[in-house]
Amino acid sequence: MKKIIVIMQESICTTFSGIEVYSHNLFRNLDSQNFEIEVIAKNNKRVNENIVKDNINYSLISIQKNKFLTHLYFFYKSCKLINQKNPHIIHGISFFPVGVLCIFYKFFFNRTTVIHAHASDVYFINKFLMRYLGSFIINYLDLVISITDHLSEFLARRTNCRHDKIFRLPISTNFHPSKKVKKVSSPLRILWIGNFRPLKGTKTMIKCYNLVQAKLDARLTIVGGNKSEKSSKYMIECMQFINNFKLEDNIKFTGSISPKQISNEYKNHDILVISSYSEGFPSIILEAAVNSLPIVSTNVGGISEFLSSDCLVSPGDHIGLAKKIITISESNYFRKNIIAQNYTKAQEEYSFEKTSNSLKSAYVEKLNA
């Protein structure tokens, strides 16, 4: 039985963010007869807790009065736990800042150490920092995992490291039997999921919807956002857009909801739209695909590795997004083809069974090296 310690900033026990949900499911699908998983993560409360979820033990470390003390205390407690558990592998989730901690874990404990890069933990890091510290992380640690080819190439280019130092392990999802494609609703129900931040392109989505509802009877559901965003300048600007276009009666805001509730939203909508200016590979693409929901998106990050060009537009192109939505809603043949194509690709290349087996093989190779 090989012991694996997973280091995360947050966990599925404290947040429903895509990275945490994906990571939990990835490790849950590893062969339990050969691997024992323990996750060390920050708690959003000022207490230390131990929680077991799906046979994975979570050691949640309390937050402190300020960020510096929180980071220091987390490092101290995680080192203590690693020393107690004596794992074979330490697997960090997030290139920055967890990759920096993994340098010290590797130095102090001399264990096989893996770092998992996603998107925002890489794309927005200072170029100087990426060139030197990022390069050191890739060369010093035993394995660097990225979720897309686009991210692998970005890491290799920014750190001036060889591409073969980076292992691609795509985001994955659980599968259920493909459903019969339902007819487009009347009114058309459009789904958008994300936080109210400029990079998510919320304004682009609102402008897009304004064009769509001028042509079709349509409703928009916006899933996401939290209390701190309600008073943000960007959120206020988005609400002004909605009021200026007189869309307030046709847009539903759900706020932050659980994965189970999001699954219900997929079933109750006709199309998912992604309007981001930057992404790695959002897990909502796969979740929509397995729920037979067509997807229209801006062409950013690794999204083009999954979606065909027929479903992609340039970032900020609200007119292009609107045209794609209208085309998919009006052509049943085109819509069915897109749904079938997305489902098949997700099933063949993005299942947890496949990625968990790939991760297992990578672990074994590094342990035997």
> CB of 49 within 8 A of CB of 14?
no
- Would the CATH topology of 2-172+351-368 be identical to that of 188-349? yes
Residues 6+ apart with CB under 8 A from 151: 117, 118, 119, 122, 280, 281, 301, 302
Copy the structure tokens of residue 169.
């392990």
Copy the structure tokens of residue 167.
């292992």
Give the pLDDT confidence score for residue 15 in this predicted structure.
62
The residue-averaged pLDDT of 59-63 equals 91
> What is the three-class DSSP state of 344?
helix
For the domain 2-172+351-368, what is the CATH superfamily, name and number? Glycogen Phosphorylase B; (3.40.50.2000)
Q: Which CATH number fits domain 188-349: 1.20.1340.10, 3.90.25.10, 3.40.50.1100, 3.40.50.2000?
A: 3.40.50.2000
The residue-averaged pLDDT of 141-166 equals 91
The one-letter amino acid at 289: A
Give the pLDDT confidence score for residue 121 in this predicted structure.
85
Report residue 127 CA to chain centroid gap: 23
The residue ranges of every structural domain in the chain are 2-172+351-368, 188-349
Peptide bond into 97 cis (omega under 30): yes
Give the pLDDT confidence score for residue 67 in this predicted structure.
85
User: Of the candidates 9, 12, 10, which has an alpha carbon nearest to the alpha carbon of residue 26?
Assistant: 12
Give the pLDDT confidence score for residue 204 in this predicted structure.
97
Residues 67-100 pLDDT 10s? 889 889 999 999 999 999 999 999 999 998 899 9
Model-level pTM? 0.91
How many whole angstroms separate alpha carbon 167 and alpha carbon 178?
30
Q: Beta strand 56-61 with 49-53: parallel, antiparallel or unpaired?
A: antiparallel
Residue 273, beta-bridge partner list: 296
